[in-house]
Amino acid sequence: MAANIGEIRADVRKDLHDEDSAAYRWTDAVLDRHIQRAVAEYSLHNPREQKSTLTTSANSRDVGIASLIDLIEIVQVEWPTGEFPPRLVGFTKWQTTITMDVVAPPTGTENVNIWWLRAHELAAGTSTIPAIHDDIICAGAAAYAALDWTSYATNRLNTGGEDVWGRYKAFAAERLAYFTQELQRLSIRNRVRQRRLYTTEAPSIFEQSRVKY
């Protein structure tokens, strides 16, 4: 089972050797901010794949997508539904609305299937990140925390010695390199995805012409 944010935070503290609760170098709030940054970066490379069924309005090509929480990208749109192979249509997105590129709009309330990519969630009681990738999140969060401390401690007196900021900098570079490497390995952009080409029903709104001077 995937870890929750409290368990991830504890592992990050182990990596940072910051386990003395009486003298934490990083507060829970600060570490949580770095963890969420790592989750956000991870989500862009390895998002959740979702499929949702929304509905149209009569005589409108627009479909509201505000209900698609943590949306990263719309992958494809199917309308009308229930055909085989699926009837995919072109679309444009603006804020919380997509507009289907079809000549005739739906005449009533009809289903529209949306395939979309969603950011991951890591909270106190839940995580959508596969357990096998928890170490990747820990590495990214630890790297960001160490870089943050490096910037903060550079011109300050450190009880761990003058080179303590340098050690954190080296640690951050090592963990960040691993984090970046794993994100590239997992990146959805590098996957071979089978897709079917389709053409829009709508006529082009642009017309090329030669202007004579």
- What is the pLDDT, as a whole number, of residue 209? 42
52 bridge partner residues: 114
Q: What is the pTM of this model?
A: 0.82
DSSP E strands, 12-137: 48-55, 62-64, 71-78, 88-89, 91-94, 97-100, 111-118
Q: Which domain holds residue 136?
A: 5-45+123-190
Tokens for 18, please give them. 């910051």
Alpha-carbon distances, residue 111 vs 82, 87, 123 (angstroms)? 9, 12, 32
- What is the pLDDT, as a whole number, of residue 208? 41
Domain termination residue (choose one: 83, 118, 153): 118
- What is the pLDDT, as a whole number, of residue 212? 44
- What is the pLDDT, as a whole number, of residue 153? 59
Note whether 61 and 92 are same-domain residues.
Answer: yes
Q: Rounded CA gap, 78 and 73, in Å?
A: 15
Alpha-carbon distances, residue 22 vs 15, 19, 36 (angstroms)? 18, 9, 24
Q: What residues of the chain score a pLDDT lower than 70?
A: 1-2, 151-166, 191-213
Q: Rounded CA gap, 74 and 93, in Å?
A: 8
Spatial contact of 118 and 69, defined as CB atoms under 8 Å apart: yes
146: three-class secondary structure by DSSP: helix
Tokens 């160490």 map to which residue?
146
Note whether 97 and 53 are same-domain residues.
Answer: yes
Q: Is 207 part of any domain?
A: no
Q: Is 25 part of any domain?
A: yes
Note whether 137 and 35 are same-domain residues.
Answer: yes
Note whether 149 and 55 are same-domain residues.
Answer: no
Segments in 17-133 forming alpha helices (H): 28-45
Q: Is 137 part of any domain?
A: yes
Q: Is 209 part of any domain?
A: no
How remote is the C-alpha of 37 from its chain's centroid? Answer: 10
Alpha-carbon distances, residue 5 vs 8, 34, 56 (angstroms)? 5, 11, 38
Q: Is 161 part of any domain?
A: yes
